[in-house]
Amino acid sequence: MKDYINTLYRNHSLIYKALLFLCTTVLIVYLFPKSGKFRYTFERGKPWQSESLQAPFDFAIKKTGEEIAAEKKEIVENALLYFNLNPSVETKVREGFKSQFEATFSDSIHRASSEKLFKTGEQIISQLYAFGILSENHDFSEDKRIAILDGREKIKDGFYSNLIKPDNVPGVIDQVLQNNNLKHYKTAFVSLFFDLVEPNLSYNKNFTDKALQDELSKISYTKGSIAKETLIVSKGEVVEGSKYQILKSLQSEYESQVWSQSNYNWILFAYTLLVALVLLMLFLFLKKYRPKVFDDNTKVTFIFFNISLLIFITTLVVKYDAKYIYIVPICILPLVFKAFFDARLGLFAHVLTVLLLGFVVPNSYEYIFLQTIAGIVTILTVSELYKRANLFISVGQITLIYIIAYFAFFVIHEGSVETLKWETFIWFILCGLATLFVQPLIYAYEKLFGLVSDVSLLELSDTNSKLLKELANVAPGTFHHSLNVANLAEASANEIGANAMLARVGALYHDIGKMKNPTYFTENQSTGINPHDELSAKESARIITDHVINGIEIARKNNLPDRVIDFIRTHHGTSLVYYFYMKEKKEYEVADPEDFSYPGPKPFSKETAILMMCDSIEAASKSLKEPNSTKIEAFVENIINKQVEEGQFLNANITFKEIQSIKKVLKHKLANIYHLRIEYPE
């Protein structure tokens, strides 16, 4: 049992990765649609590339979205508006007219017969209530069809223009009087009917909406059917018109209805295999090309978390409405990975994620093409993410690439730009704006996962930070040395395309361990007294080499990131404290190199290798007497060649060509420091 526990403990990192692999696979498969995929790919206007296709089963031909939309539009336009009638209103108005008529026209009977005026009044009432008077105005078209309900029974239908609006009553009165040559009685009739006339119609919105929904529910979403074994399309035949719609119908039927519960498990198993293969490729890439990332469980978790998060968000958007899929800022993924790791890992993870999303989104090929191109542009254009202008420029380029690629695909599919959906360009712009969220996201990830990006490095490079201020006060010579080394390292890193910000920050903090015993280092000795004179060579060497260990302790106490601590650990590699080694050898004739060697490790990146070169060159350059270009060239060559011969750069991924470029930069910088003129040939 004890051996079993020990085995588990020794392999706990691999066990964790296996569990992470399993959980991520299960999560992604759970998010995937659980239907089959149509095995054929086709595009409108393109020849059918596969073998001739016969219907594998009976299925209905589905109408296009445009056809269904047109039917719905026609139903909406022809839908009836329903109004409730109050029949008692007209009776009440007629009775009121009878009682008010004599009082109104008692002094005018001598000018016209009472009978004619009375009949005209009744005619006005009949005209007003022929269809009815509305209780309020509505914003409907005049030619809109209407139906009048008495209770739940339809008693009359017509058009909205037949109904009398409240403000049209005087006009109706005037028209009837004019037809009867009684226009001069207008004032009297208007005054009479002003208090009598009441609306008898009210709009029944609930009944109208219900009737409309009933009509819409009767729409058929299919038009005809295809019998089993009917030839659908022959090889080489152009897919267009009805052929295209039949194929789309078969594809939809295939993905939604063919897959029963009996083969659901097979589909699940197949999805699991594909997702597992993709994630396995990512694991193999990390193990082979990024072993340090692979060995760090936090970083591996971070990578898998981001991939799962993007798939989750995209799945939610597709389930809500697939037309919004291009709003999801997929290009945040390579941006984040490039900020914390490198461009190659960012692009590799991005491509794998897009391949997985191909199972979720419609128009898989178009989506994969657009997102892959956008990811490549992201990797190629974004440099120095901590500079805000660079991010804005890159996001603009990414958005432009989206628009151009989508436009090209649309023209290929449709053959024209007449039906181009301009709103999709708005989605791409919103996607670009969402990509800008990468800055606060990186900050959040730094706090959650303890990672370091160039944005944090920029903050650490501030010489007004607490630790660098302390270094400047306690060991001013070391601080000045660190500034000079930082300038040399930054220039060298820029020359060979390394991370200049990381090299600069590493150089600023590489000697903070000297704060513990500052006077034991020559750059801080201002009185002319050297405390090493009272120590043995071994003791002096121990104090010198201990500044690496002390630096690591101070760095951890001040929460410096591991990427910066790596520079403190490696800036001397496993080299000798040569001065005290020779002093010991001269005094005792025999000296053990291990007593005078730095603990290491050797530099294991371009940036840490650059720091070792620049640190040695800057420190040793103080001993140059009467420097000239010849001396400087020989000086730089000797120091760096010696480091190469000692194998200090064997673990760093730096080439001889890059070392030569760094030498060139250092020679040029030292020449500027010592104000040397270029020697022209005579």
- Summarised one tens digit per residue, pLDDT across range 226-280 is 888 788 888 777 777 788 888 787 777 766 654 555 667 777 888 899 999 999 9
- Give the per-residue pLDDT at 567: 94
Find residue 84's DSSP bridge partners. Answer: 149, 202
597: three-class secondary structure by DSSP: strand
Kindly report the pTM of this predicted structure.
0.62
**Among 48, 520, 500, 39, CA closest to 237:** 48
> What is the 8-class DSSP label of residue 245?
H
- Residue at 53: amino acid letter: L
**Among 503, 641, 498, 667, CA closest to 570:** 503
Instruction: Give the separation between CA 75 and CA 219, rounded to whole angstroms.
Output: 9
What is the per-residue pLDDT across 328-352, written as a single tens digit (0 to 9) for each?
999 999 999 988 888 899 999 999 9
123: three-class secondary structure by DSSP: helix
How far CA 212 is from CA of 71, 207, 314, in Å, comes to: 13, 9, 35
Residues 6+ apart with CB under 8 A from 205: none
Q: Does 682 score more than 50 pLDDT? A: no
- Give the per-residue pLDDT at 659: 94
- Give the per-residue pLDDT at 27: 93
What is the per-residue pLDDT across 373-414, written as a single tens digit (0 to 9) for each?
999 988 888 766 666 677 788 888 889 988 888 888 878 776
Q: Retrieve residue 116's tokens.
A: 């004619």
- Residue for token pair 């530099």: 603
Give the number of other CB atoms < 10 A from CB of residue 276.
17
What is the per-residue pLDDT across 429-468, written as a single tens digit (0 to 9) for each?
889 888 888 888 888 888 888 788 877 888 888 888 899 9
Helix ranges, 290-382 (H): 291-295, 297-320, 332-340, 343-357, 364-381
Q: Retrieve residue 492's tokens.
A: 């060298």
- Residue at 66: amino acid letter: E
> What is the 8-class DSSP label of residue 238?
B
What is the per-residue pLDDT across 478-499, written as a single tens digit (0 to 9) for each?
999 999 999 999 999 999 988 8
Burial of residue 342 (CB within 10 Å: 0-12, 13-18, 19+) is middle
- 601 cis-preceded (ω within 30 degrees of 0): yes
